[in-house]
Chains A and B, each alone.
Chain A
C-alpha cells in the first residue's frame, strides 16, 4: 500500500476494486474524485446546508445567489417544514458584473425584516460558489445590520466548489450554525453533541456513562425549542464530536468560548469503540465500563446472525461516516459483507480499511460517484441487504436498512440499533419501495 497519494491528471479514477487489491487513492479521496465525471445517484444528498442550518431555532436564512442556486434548498425547506424561515435574494448577472451585489443585499435585508411575521433572533446570510470567486467583504455590512436590527448576523456559505478544500460546506455550515453561541457566564453539567444531525438514542450506554460521571445532560441542537435554549449549548463542559462535519464547529467554540472537545466519531467495531470511549474516559478521568454493553451487543449479533446467515450485505457512506468500521464489526460477528460504496477514506476509518484488507479481501469497494455507475448498475440484485440508500440503489438489494448519517447511533448500542434494522429488513418489514423511503427521508443536496 502506498503512503503518498497518487495524483491523477484526468480520467483514470477506478470505479471499483477488491479491498486491498490496489492503492485506495485510486478509488477513494479527492484525487480519485477529480479523475472522473461525477455520477449523481438519485440517493445523492444528505442534510445539506439548509436542513442542517434550520436546526438553529428562530434563525432566518437569506440565500444570496443566482436563482438556480437556491432551488434545491428551497424545495428541501418545504419538505422539512422550514419554508417560512428561508428566503432568497436572486441576483442578476449585471449586478455581479457591475459590483452592485453588496448594495442589493443592503437594500433587501431591511425589506425582508419588515415583512417577516415572526421576528428572527438571528440572521444567517448564505452566499454561494460565485462569492468564493468575488471575495466580497461582509464585515461592515454585518455590523451595520446588527446595529440596526439588534440581532446577530453572520455569513454562511453553500459553496460546493470548495469541496476539496479545508473547509468544505458540510463542515463550514456547522461551524457557522454554532457560531451564534455566545461565551457562557458559567458552565453546567452538560455535554453538547456536535456533528450529529440527531441526538444519540436515549438507551445508549454513553448516556449512562456520562450520567455516572456527573454529566446528566447530553444536549443536541435539535432539542432546543428556542434561541435561548440554543445559547445554553454554550454552557457545556465538553463538546463531543461524533461526525467529522462537527470538527470545525468544535474548534471554533474552543477558540471562542474555551469549550474543550473530543473527536470520537461513530464506530461499530469493538476495538474502535474502545478507542473512542478511552478518549472520553481520559477526559473524565474515569474508565468507561463496557462489559454490559458488549454483552448485550453479542446477544444481538447472535440473534440477528441466526436470521441473516450468509446473506450478502452492502454498506454505503451515507448510512455512516465509518462504513469500513461497520463492515469490520459485521465481519467480526460472522456476517457476510460483500460491498462498500464510498468515495472517501477518512483517517479515522483507515484502521478498519486496513483490517478488512487483511482479513476480508473479498469485499468490493465501489465509488458511487464514478461515471460508469449510470450504465453499470446491475439489473439484478448484487446484494441481499443494503445498509444506506445509495447501497440500496446501486446494488438493488431487496432488503433495505434505511439508516442515514448515523442518526441516533453511537457505540455498542448503535450497532444493536443497526442490527435491529437489518433484522427488520430481512423479515421484510421494510416493505416500502426504495423511492418511497428516499422520498420520505427527504435527502437534501
Chain B
C-alpha cells in the first residue's frame, strides 16, 4: 500500500545504495534514468561527490528510449566512455522507469560484458526500495564476482558496510581500523568507502569480518558460508562496545549469540532511531554509563531481528513512526533532526538530534560518525541521559499535578 510522507523526506533509494557502494572502486557506474535519480545521488546522497573524480553517470533516458528500447544507444554511449578510459568494471543501475518497462538488466549486463570485454553488472533497482538494499546488492555482487579463493593462511579483518549513507566518514573508518589493528587484525579490505579496489579480491584471506552496519550482513553471511569467515557485528564507540567486540573476536563468539540489552531500571525511557548497529552500540554505551536508563532501538532501514531486543522495532514509514512514538511512552527520542516533528510533543526537550544521511542527506552533512567515538562520546551520552531524566521529571510533575 502507498504511504504518505508529510513531515519526513523520502529516504535514500536503492540505486543510491548501489552507487554509493561502488563509488570509490574505479568503475563506470551508470544510473539508467532521465536525470532526477542520478541528481538525487550526486547532489543529495553522496557527500564524496563534490571533491571526487568518480565516474557515476546518468544514462539520459528519454520517453522514446523507454518505449522503443533503444538499448544500442545506451551501449554505444557506454562504449564511448570505456574506449576513452580504463575502468575496473561497468555497472548499470535501475530506477523506476526501467522497472516499469521491464528492462532486462541481467541481459544487458551480459551483452555489455560480451561487447566491451569488461566485467559488467546489472542492478535491477527500482526506486521503490531503500538504500540498504542497494548497498547489500552491490556488496554481494562484488564478492561473488571479484573475491578470490584464499591461497594462504587467514590473517586480519575486513571492514564491511561503512557507507557514507550511514554517516561513516574516512576518520571513522580509520578509528575502526585502528581498533582492529590493536586487536591483532590488520585490515585486509574495506567495503563501503575508500580506494580499496585492489584489496577487494583478497578479502577471503581475512580471519574475521567486522560488520559495521546491518546492510553488510548479507555480505558477511555470504562470506561465512562460502569461505568460513566468521564475523562480529557492531561499532567500537567506547570502552563498553570495544570490550564486547574484543571478547567476541577473541573467543570467536557467534555474532548473534548475545542479545543487546535494553536495560530494565526504567528511570527514564529512551527510543533510539537510526541504523540498527549504530544505535545498538550507542545503547550499550549509554546503559553502561547510565544504568538507570532503559533504551529501545528502531530503524526505517536494514533490520535483523537477531540483533534486536524486546521493544526494538523496524519502522516501515512515517505513519508507523508517528504511531510508535505516540504509543511508546518515551521520555526522550534520539534520531535524525527531521524526526523531531513526528514527536507527540515536538519541543526540544524530548529530542536529541543524531543525523542520518539516508534521511536528511546534505542538510546536516557535518554530523559525521567519527565525532561519536572515544572521548567525544561521553559528553553525548551525558547529554542524552540528562535530557531523559529531566523529561521524565517533567512528566512525573505533570502527572501528579
Pair A161/B80 contact, Cβ less than 8 Å: no
B13, B75, B363: which contacts A10 (Cβ < 8 A)?
B75
B11, B128, B361: which contacts A93 (Cβ < 8 A)?
B128
Does B114 reach chain A (CB closer than 8 Å)? no
Residue of B nearest to A374 (CB): B55
Does B95 reach chain A (CB closer than 8 Å)? yes
Does A133 reach chain B (CB closer than 8 Å)? yes
Give the contact stretch, choosing among B61-69, B181-189, B258-266, B289-297: B61-69
Pair B80/A445 contact, Cβ less than 8 Å: no
B6, B11, B36, B77: which contacts A115 (Cβ < 8 A)?
B6
Pair B338/A78 contact, Cβ less than 8 Å: yes
Pair A11/B80 contact, Cβ less than 8 Å: yes
B3 to A: closest C-beta gap in Å: 5
CA distance A88 to B101 in the complex (A): 23
Q: Which residues of B contact A68 (CB under 8 A)?
A: 10, 13-16, 37, 40, 95-96, 127-128
B82 to A: closest C-beta gap in Å: 10
Does B401 reach chain A (CB closer than 8 Å)? no
Pair B96/A128 contact, Cβ less than 8 Å: yes
Q: Which residues of A contact B127 (CB under 8 A)?
A: 66-69
Q: Which residues of A contact B343 (CB under 8 A)?
A: none
Does B72 reach chain A (CB closer than 8 Å)? yes
CA distance A57 to B43 in the complex (A): 27
B4, B30, B67, B126: which contacts A37 (Cβ < 8 A)?
B30
B13, B55, B59: which contacts A67 (Cβ < 8 A)?
B13
CA distance A128 to B63 in the complex (A): 12
Using a CB-CB cutoff of 8 Å, which residues 255-296 of chain A contact chain B?
A: none
CA distance A72 to B15 in the complex (A): 13
Given contacts A75-B9, A372-B84, contact A67 B128 (CB under 8 A): yes
Q: Which residues of A contact B63 (CB under 8 A)?
A: 132-133, 161-162, 164-165
CA distance A295 to B259 in the complex (A): 79
Q: Which residues of B contact A138 (CB under 8 A)?
A: none
Q: Which residues of B contact A161 (CB under 8 A)?
A: 34, 61-63, 66, 97
Does A33 reach chain B (CB closer than 8 Å)? yes
> Which of B10, B45, B53 has the most A CB atoms < 10 Å from its CB?
B10
Does A351 reach chain B (CB closer than 8 Å)? no
B353 to A: closest C-beta gap in Å: 14
Q: Which residues of A contact B40 (CB under 8 A)?
A: 68, 71-72, 445
Given contacts A34-B62, A372-B84, contact A112 B4 (CB under 8 A): yes
Q: Which residues of A contact B392 (CB under 8 A)?
A: none
CA distance A125 to B57 in the complex (A): 29
Pair B76/A75 contact, Cβ less than 8 Å: no
Does B74 reach chain A (CB closer than 8 Å)? yes
Q: Which residues of B contact A74 (CB under 8 A)?
A: 5, 8-10
Pair B97/A9 contact, Cβ less than 8 Å: no
Pair A133/B363 contact, Cβ less than 8 Å: no
Residue of A nearest to B7 (CB): A83
Q: Which residues of A contact B393 (CB under 8 A)?
A: none
Does A40 reach chain B (CB closer than 8 Å)? yes
Does B227 reach chain A (CB closer than 8 Å)? no
CA distance A163 to B66 in the complex (A): 13
Pair A10/B362 contact, Cβ less than 8 Å: no
Pair B128/A92 contact, Cβ less than 8 Å: yes
Does A181 reach chain B (CB closer than 8 Å)? no
CA distance A40 to B38 in the complex (A): 7
Does B49 reach chain A (CB closer than 8 Å)? yes
A309 to B: closest C-beta gap in Å: 31
> Which of B14, B30, B49, B55 has the most A CB atoms < 10 Å from its CB?
B55
Q: Which residues of B contact A42 (CB under 8 A)?
A: 42-43, 49-50
B345 to A: closest C-beta gap in Å: 15
CA distance A256 to B357 in the complex (A): 45
Pair A40/B39 contact, Cβ less than 8 Å: yes
Does B217 reach chain A (CB closer than 8 Å)? no
Using a CB-CB cutoff of 8 Å, which residues 166-183 of chain A contact chain B?
A: none
Pair B35/A71 contact, Cβ less than 8 Å: no
Given contacts A130-B100, A133-B67, contact A72 B80 (CB under 8 A): no
Give a binary string over B9-48; 1 marks a CB under 8 Å from any A CB, 0 the rest.
1111111100000000000001001111111101111000
> Which of A40, A88, A374 has the most B CB atoms < 10 Å from its CB?
A40
Q: Which residues of A contact B35 (CB under 8 A)?
A: 38, 40, 160, 163, 445
Q: Which residues of B contact A67 (CB under 8 A)?
A: 5, 10-11, 13, 127-128, 130
Pair A12/B44 contact, Cβ less than 8 Å: no
Q: Which residues of B contact A443 (CB under 8 A)?
A: 43
Q: Which residues of B contact A70 (CB under 8 A)?
A: 5, 9-10
Pair A108/B96 contact, Cβ less than 8 Å: no
Does A79 reach chain B (CB closer than 8 Å)? yes
CA distance A90 to B317 in the complex (A): 10
Q: Which residues of B contact A75 (CB under 8 A)?
A: 9, 44, 360-363
Given contacts A66-B128, A68-B13, A68-B95, contact A372 B39 (CB under 8 A): no
Pair B2/A34 contact, Cβ less than 8 Å: no
A111, A115, A130, A371: which contacts B80 (Cβ < 8 A)?
A371
Using a CB-CB cutoff of 8 Å, which residues 64-122 of chain A contact chain B?
A: 65-72, 74-75, 77-79, 83, 87-93, 95-96, 104, 108, 111-112, 115
Q: Which residues of A contact B62 (CB under 8 A)?
A: 34, 161-164
Does A355 reach chain B (CB closer than 8 Å)? no
Give a binary string over B159-182; 1 marks a CB under 8 Å from any A CB, 0 the rest.
000000000000000000000000
Does A44 reach chain B (CB closer than 8 Å)? yes
Given contacts A37-B30, A161-B62, contact A72 B36 (CB under 8 A): yes
**15 A-B residue pairs with CB within 8 Å:** A11-B76, A40-B57, A67-B10, A67-B11, A67-B127, A71-B40, A71-B45, A72-B40, A90-B10, A96-B100, A129-B36, A159-B34, A165-B63, A372-B81, A445-B43
Using a CB–CB distance below 8 Å, which chain A residues touch chain B?
Answer: 9-12, 33-40, 42, 44-45, 65-72, 74-75, 77-79, 83, 87-93, 95-96, 104, 108, 111-112, 115, 128-130, 132-134, 158-165, 371-372, 374-375, 377, 435, 438-439, 443, 445
Given A69-B96, A372-B84, A374-B56, 19 extra CB contacts under 8 A? A12-B80, A37-B77, A38-B35, A38-B57, A38-B60, A42-B50, A66-B13, A68-B37, A71-B45, A75-B360, A75-B362, A78-B360, A88-B6, A96-B100, A133-B66, A133-B100, A160-B35, A163-B35, A164-B62
